[in-house]
């Protein structure tokens, strides 16, 4: 078997929200590089592997990306089966692209295994139909956190008519609110705030664009959290038993 | 146990791209209502269950949605554990919202189990980094197929700066092309066409907005397929071995 690396999605938190393929790949891994937000329970699938924790949580001290990439390369060149286990889906704000491209440049084959991304888990756990006909033209996943501090075209996002699912948005709630209001989104647009989706301690609160700052404070919203912005967010929690069922 | 229904994502096609939770729910099901695009191999997880095929493939004869909902309700009221197994993720163009809301109105509890949606599988299988920094502000999932034939605000979608992932777009390729060009998207914008993502017969072709019609004909593109539109689509297939690895 040629040396290669797998970029594997660990899902949103619930250790059962990982794919069969991810479990199979983990079971063959020699080395597993694990991100911060990955549930440690998942490591039960790879008791044979050497585990390296390489968290890079926003704003905290972290393992530099370049160092992680060198580690991937080093172990792959040793002929090891290397797994990079990432929260959510590797293709959604997971830097899988950078890592895969870098490995390809160095002649290392790379496979990607999808995971459940946090934004979709937040919707499912609280019964929010992200693409409900008549209310949403589709769904846009975006992040409030950018390296250079630049902003997306908020008026265009508003006019797109898609449900907006915002990742890593807790720290910049006030900016998001004012930019969306300035972009033409109505103050009474529903906003669902979902904290730690799919974990036993998950919580959600239904707010609106105009009130979301005050409500986030009252609710003591903390990262990691997802904001779902758009008419469909009004469905948040209407399936009152969904979260309970999901925990069974 | 109270009567209840599970809406479960079957993933994009590869029977290994289903979650452990979905497998556990299937194993307890009394009745499973299965959509067209679900891989029949997944039914190995529920040999005990009564299987009802209720496909609703676009344009073909199909089981009416109202009839499916009545079936869900009937079996749930009999105290059965009912699973509705849907291709992809139930919250992404899966009408989970309509079914969950309808069941809630009738007092039936409903849980949703995420699946891997086809658009994200298409990206992962062919190494397309949907949200690559500097090239995409995020990703928008949308469908070309609407009940009333109305169109989204294409210029706004273009200006959003997000990667566009178009579901069910094969039949309306020409309209999509002209609307995106009219909306200001450059003719040389990369477009990846991905057919049957995650299945052994999956295929992808890298085209551009200007050429995509001719290229789709030359490639003999057929449904179900995903179009990934935006700068990141240029990565399609650069991980040449990814698809092969994924098939192992």
Q: What are the tens digits of pLDDT across the range A96-122? A: 877 888 888 888 888 999 999 999 999
d(CA A41, CA A166): 27
0.90 surpassed by complex ipTM: yes
pLDDT of residue A57: 57
d(CA A124, CA A48): 33
To the query of whether residue B56 is one of the catalytic residues in this protein, the response is yes
In this prediction, what percent of chain B has a pLDDT beyond 90? Answer: 73
Exposure of A203 in the CB half-sphere (CA atoms within 13 A): 10
**How much is the average pLDDT of B176-200?**
97
- Residue A134: which region, alpha, beta or left (left: phi > 0; alpha: psi -120 to 50)? left
Domain A118-247 sits in CATH at: 3.30.950.10
Lowest mean pLDDT, pick from A61-70, A90-99, B221-230:
A61-70
pLDDT greater than 90 at residue B202: yes
Distance from CA of B49 to the nearest CA of A (A): 20
pLDDT greater than 50 at residue A149: yes
pLDDT of residue B216: 97
| CB pair distance less than 8 Å for A90 and B117 | no
For an interface test with B, the pick among A110, A116, A149 (most B C-beta atoms closer than 10 Å) comes out as A116
pLDDT of residue A151: 85
Catalytic residue among A86, A89, A168, A193: A168
Summary mean pLDDT of chain B: 89
Among the listed residues B16, B42, B38, B17, the one whose alpha carbon sits nearest the alpha carbon of residue B29: B42
Contact predicate B25/B48, CB 8 Å = no
Q: What are the strands of the beta sheet with A31-34, ordered from one edge?
A: A50-53, A31-34, A81-86, A4-9, A109-113
Among the listed residues A225, A163, A220, the one whose alpha carbon sits nearest the alpha carbon of residue A13: A225
Q: Which of B113, B116, B142 sits opposite A162 (nearest CB)?
A: B142
| CB pair distance less than 8 Å for B130 and A16 | no
Torsion, CA A65, CA A69, CA A72, CA A77, rounded to 10 = -160
A180 contact partners, CB below 8 Å, separation of at least 6: A154, A157, A158, A189, A209, A229
Extract long-range pairs of A43-51: CB within 8 Å, 24+ residues apart. Answer: A46/A83, A49/A83
pLDDT greater than 90 at residue A133: no
d(CA B85, CA B9): 6
Q: For residue B20, give both structure tokens.
A: 């452990």
pLDDT of residue A238: 62
Closest residue in A to B23 (Cα–Cα): A20
To the query of whether residue A148 is one of the catalytic residues in this protein, the response is no
The domain limits of chain B are: 4-113, 118-247
Contact predicate B215/B195, CB 8 Å = no
To the query of whether residue B21 is one of the catalytic residues in this protein, the response is no
The three-class DSSP label of residue B113 is strand
Burial class (CB in 10 A: 0-12, 13-18, 19+), A184: exposed
Domain B4-113 sits in CATH at: 3.40.1010.10
CA angle B145, B149, B151 (to 5 degrees): 80
């Amino acid at each position: 078997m040629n040396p290669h690396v797998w970029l594997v999605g660990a899902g949103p938190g619930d250790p059962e929200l990982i794919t069969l393929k991810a479990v199979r790949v983990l079971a063959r891994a020699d080395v597993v590089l694990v991100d911060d937000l990955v549930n440690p329970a998942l490591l039960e699938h790879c008791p044979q592997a050497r585990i390296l924790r390489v968290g890079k949580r926003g704003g905290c001290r972290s393992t530099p990306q370049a160092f992680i990439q060198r580690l991937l390369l080093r172990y792959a060149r040793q002929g090891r089966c290397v797994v990079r286990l990432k929260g959510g889906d590797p293709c959604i704000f997971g830097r899988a692209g950078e890592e895969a491209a870098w490995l390809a440049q160095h002649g290392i084959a790379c496979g990607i295994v999808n995971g459940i991304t946090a934004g979709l888990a937040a919707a499912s756990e609280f019964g929010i139909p992200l693409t409900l006909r008549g209310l949403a033209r589709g769904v846009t996943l975006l992040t409030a956190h950018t390296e250079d501090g630049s902003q997306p075209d908020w008026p265009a996002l508003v006019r797109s008519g898609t449900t907006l699912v915002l990742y890593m948005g807790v720290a910049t709630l006030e900016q998001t609110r004012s930019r969306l209001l300035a972009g033409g989104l109505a103050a009474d647009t529903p906003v669902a705030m979902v904290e730690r989706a799919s974990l036993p301690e998950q919580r959600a609160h239904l707010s609106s664009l105009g009130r979301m700052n005050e409500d986030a404070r009252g609710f003591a919203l903390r990262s990691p959290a997802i904001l779902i912005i758009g008419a469909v967010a009004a469905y948040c929690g209407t399936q009152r038993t969904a979260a309970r069922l999901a925990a069974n």
